[in-house]
Structure 1
Amino acid sequence: MRVLLAGATGAVGRLLLPLLLEAGHEVTGLTRSADGLDRIRASGARAVRADALDAKGLGRAVAEAAPQAVIHQLTDLSGADGAANDRLRREGTRHLVDAARAAGVGRIVAQSISWAYAPGDGPADESVPLDGTGEQPRARIVAGVRALEETVAELPEAVVLRYGILYGPGTWYAPGGPVAAALGGDPGARFLGSLAADDSVSSFVHVGDAARAALLALEWPAGAYNVVDGEPAAGHAWVPVLARALGVPAPGRTAGGAPWARGAADRRARARGWTPSYPSWRDGFARQEG
């Protein structure tokens, strides 16, 4: 299959690209940087350069690639600027879907998140609606997620992967990354998320397992799928384990937690043949590399 991988040099994209090639797909990697072009070409894939916020330039790049499917792994997280990432979810996704439609593409696999669900008891499955809160900044974040998912659903074969919190190489949670810096007391450490050792429940997924899900999802029926490991956990459980793996101090336990922080259930993705190599963050944190 001819596949356009948008975000080919990101945390998921850089691991997904070789998987696609090994599976026999003809891959074009999309990047906005000259360095990214070199890295994609070095992998053996074709490369095109475009900024997802430039509708005309992106349209030309997608037309040039002439894909049969698009994989959307675009994020803007390097500066820990939530507003910039939300804008990419809204505007970048809009431009990518319009370009795909103009190129005759009907299938898209898109990255979303698994912590945008409405509050409730227990891990959320895909039938739970997205949070309708008006409280900022969560309302802005969920609005960006909703815009992304509704936009890709305009294509007839749209698969949405609602990833857990990504950890592993190239992520904020890797050794030497901003989470380690924050736990170590660096006041300049910047990332989006919480390290409170409280009752808020999170679901994780190793970045390599997320990449494998995206590969498999090229064949999945349209719809949303939670891509998370099998152990949703409260902050007071996972934060100390992560801190120990990173060799930094753990914060003390605190009371309470966000009502929407409930974790996610992964039964639908598993039913389609996806099984994480790291079934729990407990093992994954200890074995990850920077």
Structure 2
Amino acid sequence: MKIFVAGASGVIGRLLLPQLVQAGHDVIGMTRKEEQRQAIEKTGAKAILADVFDREQIMKILDEVKPNVVIHQLTSLSQGSSSENACIRIEGTRNLVDAAKQAKVQKIIAQSISWAYEPGTTPATEETALDIHASMPRKTTINGVLSLEEAVKEIPTHVILRYGTLYGPATWYARNGDMAKKIMKKEIKATDGVSSFVHVEDAAHVAFMALDWPTGTYNIVDDEPAKGIDWLPVYAKVIGAPVPDTQSGANSWERGASNQKVKNKNGWTLQYPTWRTGFSTS
């Protein structure tokens, strides 16, 4: 198949490209950074420099490439700005989907998140409503997710991957990542809020496997949703950080997510079923 990967130089994209190439696919990786071109080409994929906000450019590129599948892994996380990331989810996705429709693309696989659900006390399933009544600043993130997912559903076959918090090499939780630095400085407190994690290698492999999955929305998280008072001390010990301070309470939406649907329906198995062992790879 001919596969177009938007966000090919991101933390997931860079692990995904080699899997696609090794499987014999014709892979085109898009990045907006010239310095990432060589890394993309080293995987055996073709590299295209483009800006997803340039609507005419994206329309032209996909019309020329005419891929069978588009994989949407675009994010803007380097500055930690929720508004920038929401902008990519809204405007960038709109441009990418419209270009895919014009090129008659039949399938899209898209990155979403698993912490956008409404408040609750148990891990959210894919049937749980998104947190549409959230207040600012969380509402910015929710609006971006809603817009992305609604647009993606316009493609005949669509797979939406609601990833948990990514950890592992090149993520915020890498030993030199932003979260690690904050935890070393004791800037993060352990709370009762529940998170669901997924190792970046599992996240990339899922995007590869989703080529064969039917239309659907899936939580891509590990087997163990956990309170901050449980996971943060384990992570801190792994990276050699001081024991974190604790703080009672949690945001009502910090509930984690269930992966039972994707495991039961698509037979997904994780290389890293729990953060307890996966953190050591960061």
CA RMSD of aligned residues (A): 1.2
Q: Is contact 1:8–1:14 with CA below 8 Å preserved after alignment?
A: yes
Aligned length: 281
What TM-score comes out, normalization by structure 2 length? 0.97
Q: Is contact 1:183–1:250 with CA below 8 Å preserved after alignment?
A: no
| Aligned: 1:103 with 2:103 | yes
| Aligned: 1:215 with 2:208 | yes
**Alpha-carbon distance in structure 1 between the residues aligned to 2:150 and 2:81:** 23
**Alpha-carbon distance in structure 2 between the residues aligned to 1:224 and 1:164:** 13
Q: Is contact 1:126–1:226 with CA below 8 Å preserved after alignment?
A: yes
| Aligned: 1:262 with 2:258 | no
- TM-fit CA distance, 1:24: 1.6
**Alpha-carbon distance in structure 1 between the residues aligned to 2:66 and 2:38:** 21
Q: Is contact 2:169–2:281 with CA below 8 Å preserved after alignment?
A: no
List per-residue Cα deviations over 1:126-178 (Å, max 9, x = no partner).
Answer: 00010122411111111110100001001111110000000011100001111
**Alpha-carbon distance in structure 2 between the residues aligned to 1:134 and 1:198:** 20
Aligned counterpart, 2:91? 91
Letter in 2 for 1:210: A
Aligned counterpart, 1:178? 178
Q: Is contact 1:49–1:61 with CA below 8 Å preserved after alignment?
A: no
Letter in 2 for 1:146: L
Aligned counterpart, 1:244? 237
Q: Is contact 2:69–2:106 with CA below 8 Å preserved after alignment?
A: yes
Q: After superposing the two structures, state which structure 1 stretch, 243-252 or 14-23, moved more.
A: 243-252
- TM-fit CA distance, 1:15: 0.3
What TM-score comes out, normalization by structure 1 length? 0.94
Aligned to 1:269, what secondary structure does the other structure show? helix
Q: Is contact 1:106–1:155 with CA below 8 Å preserved after alignment?
A: yes
Letter in 2 for 1:250: V
Aligned counterpart, 1:205? 198
**Alpha-carbon distance in structure 2 between the residues aligned to 1:274 and 1:228:** 11
**Alpha-carbon distance in structure 2 between the residues aligned to 1:133 and 1:241:** 33
- TM-fit CA distance, 1:79: 1.2
Matches within 5 A, 1:47-58: 47-58=47-58
Aligned to 1:172, what secondary structure does the other structure show? coil
Q: After superposing the two structures, state which structure 1 stretch, 54-63 or 103-112, moved more.
A: 54-63
Aligned to 2:158, what secondary structure does the other structure show? strand
User: Relative to 1, partners in 2 of residues 1:254 and 1:186: Cα closer, same or farther, differing over 3 Å?
Assistant: closer
Letter in 2 for 1:128: T
Aligned to 2:212, what secondary structure does the other structure show? coil
- TM-fit CA distance, 1:267: 1.1
Residue segments in structure 2 that go unaligned for 5+ positions in a row = none
| Aligned: 1:165 with 2:165 | yes
Runs of 4+ in 1 over 3 A off after TM superposition: none
**Alpha-carbon distance in structure 2 between the residues aligned to 1:99 and 1:250:** 49
**Alpha-carbon distance in structure 2 between the residues aligned to 1:129 and 1:9:** 32
Aligned counterpart, 1:82? 82
Q: Is contact 1:31–1:50 with CA below 8 Å preserved after alignment?
A: yes
1:277 to 271, 276, 279: 271
- TM-fit CA distance, 1:186: 8.5
**Alpha-carbon distance in structure 2 between the residues aligned to 1:45 and 1:176:** 28
Letter in 2 for 1:157: T
Q: Is contact 2:194–2:228 with CA below 8 Å preserved after alignment?
A: yes
Letter in 2 for 1:196: K
